[in-house]
Amino acid sequence: NKQVIFKNYVVGSPKESDMELTTSKITLKVPEDCNGILLKNLYLSCDPYMRIRMTKHDRPTYVQSFIPGTPIMGYGVSKVLDSRHPNFKVGDFVWGMTGWEEYSLISSPQLFFKIEHTDVPLSYYTGILGMPGMTAYAGFYEIGSPKKGDCVYVSAASGAVGQLVGQLAKLTGCYVVGSAGSKEKVELLKSRFRFDEAFNYKEEADLDAALKRYFPEGIDIYFENVGGKMLDAVLINMKLHGRIPVCGMISQYNLQQPEGVHNLVNLIIKRIRMEGFIVADYYHLYPKYLELILPHIKEGKVSYVEDVAEGIENAPSALIGIYSGRNVGKQLVVVARD
């Protein structure tokens, strides 16, 4: 059983050497005294929050730190090889929190979702049909409260969450602008995801001026993925009664001292509602979300771009790549295809 082991707590940017590939023996059966499932892992998801699990935290946070010497854990798509749990049977496909290894014994599989729709790529359950998809849906609709004609801005817009937020906003009849960190990503936003406008934030010396160029009358909804300087520039460009679903702040995750935000007074002046959320609180909406998104995918009204790394050996490199923007679209790792 090839495994990616978390070596030790990380300070600053994560490196490949913070993880190690090892091989161990595993019996491909659920032990008799266990109510769990034995999984063959097919696709592993690389997600920004995993950096937070690589830090040893003094104060409680919303995810637990990884344990040095044990496999990295993350969302994945897997096939059930053996089961002693009433909700799962051999041959089922599932998605949920699994180990970065070829096979995982999950003793409490309550938090796994059974995959009912297999006429779409299974890898989509690491992205648009999994946790990032639900994140875009919950953040945009439940917190963003969008309406037709709203001016929407999305940062990290070509990523797993952002590309979908933009497309949901277009389907709602909004004007949508996205930013991303390369020319290729900006092209993708405009041509593939049909954003109205897009720009490379790395080429903008003055983010405030860039936002004024695209939103001369201001922003109704800012879908926050990056934090830091971008958030500061956005705050002065929000409209009265604007909404900011705070999804993530990836620009801050590797910093020991987070950057200060200077323009928060705009929350008062403009009566802005800024609200953080965690997708796990919204999983009860998953069936409703699937009902909305599956037809859009099948009819080609929503498209989804994945960045696929081949082989579990390449998982550490794929994971660290998302913190420097090397991924184009949803970053995932193929361990096996069936």
- Name the strand (E) or helix (H) holding 94: strand 93-99
The answer to whether 56 and 65 have CB atoms below 8 angstroms apart is yes
Residue 277 in contact with ligand NDP, rule: CB under 6 A: yes
Between CA 17 and CA 122 the distance in angstroms is 30
One residue of 76, 133, 146, 162 binding ligand NDP per CB under 6 A: 162
Residue 185 in contact with ligand NDP, rule: CB under 6 A: yes
281 phi, psi to nearest 5 deg: -75, -5
Nearer to ligand NDP, 135 or 237 (CB): 135
3 state DSSP class of 287: helix
Residue 233 in contact with ligand NDP, rule: CB under 6 A: no
**Which listed range, 1-9, 20-28, 116-124, 273-281, lies at the site for ligand NDP (CB under 6 A)?**
273-281
The answer to whether 248 and 154 have CB atoms below 8 angstroms apart is no
Q: Whats the size of the chain, residue-wise?
A: 338
**Which listed range, 63-71, 76-84, 260-268, 327-335, lies at the site for ligand NDP (CB under 6 A)?**
327-335
- Pairing assessment for the beta strands 73-83 and 93-99 based on DSSP bridges: antiparallel
Between CA 132 and CA 69 the distance in angstroms is 28
Question: Six-digit token pair at 8?
Answer: 């030790």
Residue 129 in contact with ligand NDP, rule: CB under 6 A: no
**Which listed range, 26-34, 141-149, 247-255, 310-318, lies at the site for ligand NDP (CB under 6 A)?**
247-255
Identify the bridge partners of residue 330 per DSSP, sorted by sequence position.
306
Identify the bridge partners of residue 40 per DSSP, sorted by sequence position.
79, 103
CB of 322 to ligand NDP, least distance (A): 4
One residue of 10, 129, 151, 226 binding ligand NDP per CB under 6 A: 226
Amino acid at 203: E
Nearer to ligand NDP, 5 or 322 (CB): 322
Q: Using alpha carbons, list the distances in angstroms from residue 148 to 170, 176, 220.
A: 9, 11, 11
One residue of 14, 96, 159, 316 binding ligand NDP per CB under 6 A: 159
**Which listed range, 29-37, 77-85, 262-270, 272-280, lies at the site for ligand NDP (CB under 6 A)?**
272-280
Nearer to ligand NDP, 92 or 232 (CB): 232
Residues forming contacts to ligand NDP in the complex (CB under 6 A) are 47-49, 132, 135, 156, 158-162, 180-182, 185, 225-226, 247-251, 277-279, 322-323, 325, 327, 330-331
